[in-house]
Structure formats: structure tokens, C-alpha cells
């Protein structure tokens, strides 16, 4: 198995409810190491650039508004098969479908306000990490 890095975002619905620590505990309990982390406030334009792949979807405007509505915590998680492991810990996009014990089952409020984002493949992980972090900020 390969050691990977993936980009994680703790979303506005979760930072607003002071859930950063509880969500980080889920990552660490699963063996994922937080090797970079910062709390930032995205503009709607920055959120739109990050989620450009969804620009044709009907929920795109709502998604960008939401991501700019309060601070987010952007993070790099590292570990064996970190991309798939993180997606397992997050649970399904829609909390109604998320397995018990996952972050979205426990904390998400709706398919839009679903508490966390995680990269879905190695190529997107590399792009998404580079969107938020410079090499100097990745200390391992």
C-alpha cells in the first residue's frame, strides 16, 4: 500500500458548530495524520474556482455561497491509502446514505451542508493540495 496525501476541507456548517476537533479526532483515529492545516475564509469566487468541475451543476451557485458563508479549515491528510481512507471516514455525500459512525452520518446537515470535503483521486488530490498549500507548508 502506498502512502498518499489528500486534501480535506472542514466546511462552514461544521466550523460554525465548533466541530473541528471532533472531526479531526475521526481522522486521527483512522490513522490519518494531519500534516498541514489552516483556517481561512473563502470568497465566493475562490470557492467557485475550487469547485469549477461542478460549474454546470444546478447546485453550483448554492455550493459556492455556502462555502463562502463562514470559515473553513483546509487540511492535508497523510497515510496509507489516504484518499480512499478519508472517503470512508467521511461517509457518503448525502448524510442520509452515510454509514453509521462516519463524519457525515454524525455531523452533516444535508447533501449540501455535509461538513467535509475530500479529494476523490490522486490527480485531484495533487491539484487541490496545491490550490491551498505551498510546498513549504507541508512538513510531513
The owner of cell 475550487 is: 50
Distance in angstroms (rounded) separating the CA atoms of residues 51 and 53: 5
Based on the residue annotation, tell me whether 54 is a catalytic residue of this protein: no
Catalytic residue of the set 13, 116, 117, 119: 117
Distance in angstroms (rounded) separating the CA atoms of residues 136 and 133: 8
Does 93 bind ligand CMP (CB under 6 A)? Our answer is: yes
State the DSSP H helix or E strand holding residue 33, giving kind and residue range, or none if neither.
strand 33-40
**Using the rule CB under 6 A, which residue among 37, 46, 81, 112 binds ligand CMP?**
112
Smallest gap, in angstroms, from Cβ of residue 82 to ligand CMP? 16
Closest to ligand CMP by CB, 4 vs 13, is: 13
Please check whether residue 23 is in contact with residue 74, taking contact to mean a CB–CB distance below 8 angstroms. no
Does 59 bind ligand CMP (CB under 6 A)? Our answer is: yes
Q: Which residues are catalytic?
A: 117
Amino acid at each position: 500500500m502506498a502512502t498518499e496525501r489528500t486534501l480535506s476541507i472542514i466546511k462552514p456548517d461544521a466550523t460554525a458548530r465548533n466541530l473541528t476537533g471532533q472531526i479531526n479526532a475521526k481522522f486521527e483515529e483512522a490513522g490519518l495524520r494531519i500534516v498541514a492545516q489552516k483556517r481561512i475564509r473563502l470568497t465566493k469566487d475562490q470557492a467557485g474556482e475550487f469547485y469549477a468541475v461542478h460549474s454546470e451543476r444546478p447546485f453550483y451557485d448554492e455550493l459556492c455561497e455556502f462555502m463562502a458563508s463562514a470559515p473553513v479549515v483546509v487540511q492535508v491528510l497523510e497515510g496509507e491509502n489516504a484518499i480512499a481512507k478519508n472517503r470512508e471516514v467521511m461517509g457518503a455525500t448525502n448524510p442520509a446514505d452515510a454509514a453509521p459512525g462516519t463524519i457525515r452520518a454524525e455531523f452533516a446537515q444535508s447533501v449540501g451542508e455535509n461538513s467535509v470535503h475530500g479529494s476523490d483521486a490522486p490527480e485531484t488530490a495533487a491539484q487541490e493540495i496545491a490550490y491551498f498549500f505551498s510546498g513549504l507548508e507541508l512538513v510531513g
